[in-house]
Structure 1
Amino acid sequence: MTITAAQVKELRELTGAGMMDCKVALGETGGNIEEAVDWLRKKGISKADKKAGRTAAEGLVGVDAGVREASIVEVNSETDFVARNDAFQEIVRNVSKVALAYGETDAIAAAKYPGSDKTVTDTIKDAVGTIGENMSFRRAAKLTVAKGAVASYVHNAVSENLGKLGVLVAIETDGDAQAASAFARQVAMHVAATNPLALNAEEVDPAAVEREKEIFADQARQSGKPEAIIEKMVEGRMRKFYEEVVLLKQAFVINPDLTVEKALAEAEKAIGAPAKITAFVRFALGEGIEKEESDFAAEVAAAVKN
């Protein structure tokens, strides 16, 4: 099959590998980008360990929080200019308030918008005509604990509780809720910085685990070592993998000498009782969305021609 320059460019951006290596990888995998990433990693060529989707969608992430519950939403717009608009920001604030009451994305979309007889979805549609740009309510999440605290954190906030990256962290405890909330906020800042895949090893996607094992095993076999040694090498690499992607096993950004798990044990002294991190949510604006890139020069040339 023919490998296009666009495919090579995309693979280079994902892996940091050279142009010819990317072309060979795509040829070996029939043009499948994800398989080509794995092929490069197995050959030790890729400089990137994880595929990262290009974040192109604009808008805002908003949070709303009580003591033992908090919500987070993402509302998208076409441009960052509109995201700085007061009217748009007010919409995101109100949608996050509705999220605190309803929790599920579909329920929020169908719920009444604050101070209106219209639904959240219809209110946003009406705002498109007023603000002059397409907008959409994309997703939401809510965390709740019976005892303890749920803390929120918005990184580089453009306004109170509004920004492009938001995190919720829930801690269950019979101890001091204020101390638990303070520690949960620190963990939320950690999650914003490290983007863990799961709370604990058991929650990591089994497919992702098997994929990593296969890649590590193929890399180890290239050393020519016996299978028994390779198995030990893979076990060691997987321990390192979990330390990198599992929240409780990560080095705590506030104090890198401790893991998050050990930092929680230290925090229990101030909380005054055993505590457990039960869940976290991290929304980065536009993650998983690719916005079609236009060739401005080509558009101008076409306009002149016409």
Structure 2
Amino acid sequence: MEITAQMVKELRERSGAGMMECKKALSQNDGNIEAAIEWLRKQGLAKADKKADRVAAEGRIVLAQDAGKAVLVEVNSETDFVAKDENFLAFADNVAKAALGAADVEALKGAAYAGGGTVEEARAAVIAKVGENVQVRRLVRIDSANTVAGYLHGGRIGVLVEVKGGSADLARGLAMHIAAMNPPYIAEKDVPAEFVAKEKEIELAKMTDKDKAKPAEILEKIISGKIAKIVNEVTLTGQPYVLDTNETVGAVLKKEGAEVVTFHRIAVGEGIEKVVEDYAAEVMKQAGLA
């Protein structure tokens, strides 16, 4: 059967695969587009393995909640362009829903996917469509009878927070605060002693000889004041509340008779070493101009 340009175009639009791959798929399947799509998906299973070592540092944080369960999942792609692709976005949203019943990423891979099959099989299929490495990188969850709020900021940052007491509005406000301010710890008691000792050492090193010559009790007060300020900066309860900067988060919690039990904050690509490629140079090299 003759494979026309229109047939190739339609298959490309439906599958997201390259022109030559579409032409081959149609040739292998006598011009049957549905069979060609299935053939491409099967080929995609092999291609997924080949793309697995390519750095995927872009993507989305997705959120799903059901009663006392809440989960955030980071789903990665190689480029921000694919992170906005409708196939990728649909996959990420379905992964979040599947994650409500999964304890960790490994369990999530084998979980049932909304469109049929498993999450891992769906991942291989979306790789075939978008032509990039796609990874389900990590999952954080909270299962609690307390108030649990989830917040997404532009699909790039996700927060879950568990609050004992207080209201749902407070919990959501705290989630927004955590997204904006990224506190490493909840309260002063959670700050490691090693961190405090190191900060004291740094503050002492910054002091002038004149300051160091002051009486020990005065010197201790000066250092203690500096350390208290640093501890406030790195703790949720010590930070000015983003929704009312006249008060600290700790003061707001006290007013509402609430406490933060735990929280999770994840951002797309954090901890992944990104590869910066000079595409212009690469094109010139392949064209023999460099």
TM-score range, shorter chain: 0.7 to 0.9
Q: Which amino acid aligns with 2:162?
A: A
1:257–1:121 distance in 2 versus 1, CA, 3 Å: same
Q: Is the counterpart of residue 248 in structure 1 residue 237 in structure 2? A: yes
Would the aligned equivalents of 2:211 and 2:219 in 1 still touch at CA under 8 Å? no
1:91–1:220 distance in 2 versus 1, CA, 3 Å: same
- Quote the offset at 1:126 in angstroms: 2.5
1:110–1:223 distance in 2 versus 1, CA, 3 Å: farther
Residue 281 of structure 1 corresponds to which residue in structure 2? 264
1:253–1:138 distance in 2 versus 1, CA, 3 Å: same
- Quote the offset at 1:110 in angstroms: 3.2
Tell me the percent identity. Answer: 38
Larger radius of gyration: 2
**Length-normalised TM-score, structure 2:** 0.73
Residue 51 of structure 2 corresponds to which residue in structure 1? none
1:84–1:223 distance in 2 versus 1, CA, 3 Å: farther
CA distance in structure 1 between the aligned counterparts of 2:194 and 2:106, rounded to whole angstroms: 28
1:70–1:61 distance in 2 versus 1, CA, 3 Å: same
- Quote the offset at 1:258 in angstroms: 1.3
1:183–1:264 distance in 2 versus 1, CA, 3 Å: same
Would the aligned equivalents of 1:63 and 1:152 in 2 still touch at CA under 8 Å? yes
1:230–1:303 distance in 2 versus 1, CA, 3 Å: farther
Q: Which runs of 5+ in 2 are unaligned?
A: 1-55
Q: Is the counterpart of residue 210 in structure 1 residue 173 in structure 2? A: no
Q: Is the counterpart of residue 181 in structure 1 residue 168 in structure 2? A: yes
- 267, 273, 277: which one aligns with 1:290: 273
SS in 1 for 2:179: helix
Residue 89 of structure 1 corresponds to which residue in structure 2? 89
- 187, 194, 200: which one aligns with 1:200: 187
- Quote the offset at 1:167 in angstroms: 1.0
**Length-normalised TM-score, structure 1:** 0.69
CA distance in structure 2 between the aligned counterparts of 1:223 and 1:168, rounded to whole angstroms: 47
Residue 12 of structure 1 corresponds to which residue in structure 2? none
Would the aligned equivalents of 1:69 and 1:149 in 2 still touch at CA under 8 Å? no
- Quote the offset at 1:98 in angstroms: 2.1
- 160, 163, 171: which one aligns with 1:168: 160
Would the aligned equivalents of 1:169 and 1:187 in 2 still touch at CA under 8 Å? yes
1:65–1:288 distance in 2 versus 1, CA, 3 Å: same
Q: Which runs of 5+ in 1 are unaligned?
A: 1-55, 157-162, 174-178, 269-273
Q: Which amino acid aligns with 1:128?
A: I
CA distance in structure 1 between the aligned counterparts of 2:156 and 2:229, rounded to whole angstroms: 30
SS in 1 for 2:287: helix
Residue 121 of structure 2 corresponds to which residue in structure 1? 122
Measured on the aligned residues, the alpha-carbon RMSD in Å equals 2.2
Aligned residues: 232
SS in 2 for 1:167: strand
CA distance in structure 2 between the aligned counterparts of 1:141 and 1:204, rounded to whole angstroms: 22
CA deviation string 1:183-226 (max 9, x = no partner): 10001111111110111123234443333222222112565513
Residue 239 of structure 1 corresponds to which residue in structure 2? 228
SS in 2 for 1:208: helix
CA distance in structure 2 between the aligned counterparts of 1:300 and 1:187, rounded to whole angstroms: 48
Would the aligned equivalents of 1:144 and 1:170 in 2 still touch at CA under 8 Å? no
CA distance in structure 2 between the aligned counterparts of 1:223 and 1:287, rounded to whole angstroms: 43
CA distance in structure 2 between the aligned counterparts of 1:98 and 1:218, rounded to whole angstroms: 52
CA distance in structure 2 between the aligned counterparts of 1:112 and 1:281, rounded to whole angstroms: 25
Would the aligned equivalents of 1:70 and 1:142 in 2 still touch at CA under 8 Å? yes
CA distance in structure 1 between the aligned counterparts of 2:208 and 2:280, rounded to whole angstroms: 49
Residue 141 of structure 2 corresponds to which residue in structure 1? 142
CA distance in structure 1 between the aligned counterparts of 2:90 and 2:196, rounded to whole angstroms: 42
CA distance in structure 2 between the aligned counterparts of 1:184 and 1:232, rounded to whole angstroms: 36
Would the aligned equivalents of 1:201 and 1:242 in 2 still touch at CA under 8 Å? yes
CA distance in structure 2 between the aligned counterparts of 1:223 and 1:103, rounded to whole angstroms: 57
Would the aligned equivalents of 2:150 and 2:159 in 1 still touch at CA under 8 Å? yes
